[in-house]
Chains A and B, each alone.
Chain A
């Protein structure tokens, strides 16, 4: 087996995946290449699993072909898709095996949350940015945003969080991005404009 990246013009790859030109040798070379990429994600994948992951990668490429804008060699983009597919599988397994039940535990923990005690009068504590953040988490975020944010902070795979919430991963990103924007606005409104929040000053639309 020759260890090199298959070389074809991008248009050839696109035509092959659109089924317009069945370039079998090219696709076979790409399969071998992506097998090697996937093996680098985890050595624990068996040959059969690597094969399945390459097939899944091919399906994703077909589905997302219009997302390839020719910013790179097609093979580099395909390697990125294969890496994503392999990591998604790894994270799914990790969620099922090592981290089973963690999401429910977080949900349970959040459900029992007492509201944060009223802001204390002491000037020192009132200026504590973490306390303001904690209060904003309670006052500004929805239950789903709180759960998603905490689950991500604790390192639960986003594939797991998204599945539990019955949304796709892009919707999950939007949910937590909206939450971060709300929190950022709360901190600014509370007067925090220190170095760490300088980038917030230019916030226009939110």
Chain B
């Protein structure tokens, strides 16, 4: 089978986190700026951005972008 055990385990984690309604990467992009500006002092997620937090858990590419953007904004402010 081309899905290795490691693939299946990774997929199971994603399946376990799957929600009936999720935002896609475009919607994430338009919400992440508001999320970043409202992040608490120790990275506490702001209320109302649960969909953004969830997308960060499920989408490695948006997580990668988020980390760089977060760093960039910290350095620029």
- Would A199 and B17 be within 8 Å (CB), given that A83-B69, A113-B2 are in contact? yes
Contact assessment for A199 and B37 in the assembled complex, using a CB-CB cutoff below 8 Å: no
Contact assessment for B73 and A76 in the assembled complex, using a CB-CB cutoff below 8 Å: yes
**What number of residue pairs across chains A and B have CB atoms under 8 A from each other?**
131
- Would A40 and B72 be within 8 Å (CB), given that A76-B33, A77-B30 are in contact? yes
Question: Quick one: CB contact mask for A74-85 with B, threshold 8 Å, 1 for yes?
Answer: 001101110110
Please name all residues of chain A whose beta carbon is closer than 8 Å to the beta carbon of B10 when the two chains form the complex.
Answer: 153
Q: Which residue of B lies closest to A33 (CB)?
A: B76
Contact assessment for B7 and A150 in the assembled complex, using a CB-CB cutoff below 8 Å: yes
Please name all residues of chain B whose beta carbon is closer than 8 Å to the beta carbon of A37 when the two chains form the complex.
Answer: 69, 72, 76
Please name all residues of chain B whose beta carbon is closer than 8 Å to the beta carbon of A91 when the two chains form the complex.
Answer: 61
Interface residue stretch chosen among A19-27, A46-54, A170-178: A170-178
The secondary structure that dominates the B interface is helix
- Contacting A137 at CB < 8 Å: which of B3, B26, B37, B72? B3
Nearest Cβ distance between residue A194 and chain B, in whole angstroms?
Answer: 9
Q: Which residue of A lies closest to B26 (CB)?
A: A170
Contact assessment for A150 and B24 in the assembled complex, using a CB-CB cutoff below 8 Å: no
Q: Is B50 an interface residue (CB 8 A)?
A: no
CA distance A167 to B18 in the complex (A): 22
Nearest Cβ distance between residue B75 and chain A, in whole angstroms?
Answer: 7
Q: Which of B28-77 contact A (CB under 8 A)?
A: 29-34, 36-37, 60-61, 64-65, 68-69, 71-73, 75-77
Q: A3-B76, A80-B29 are in contact. List 11 more A-B contacts (CB 8 A).
A: A37-B72, A72-B36, A79-B69, A110-B2, A116-B1, A130-B8, A134-B3, A154-B7, A177-B18, A180-B15, A196-B13
Which residue numbers of B lie inside 8 Å of A, CB to CB?
1-3, 5, 7-20, 22, 24-26, 29-34, 36-37, 60-61, 64-65, 68-69, 71-73, 75-77
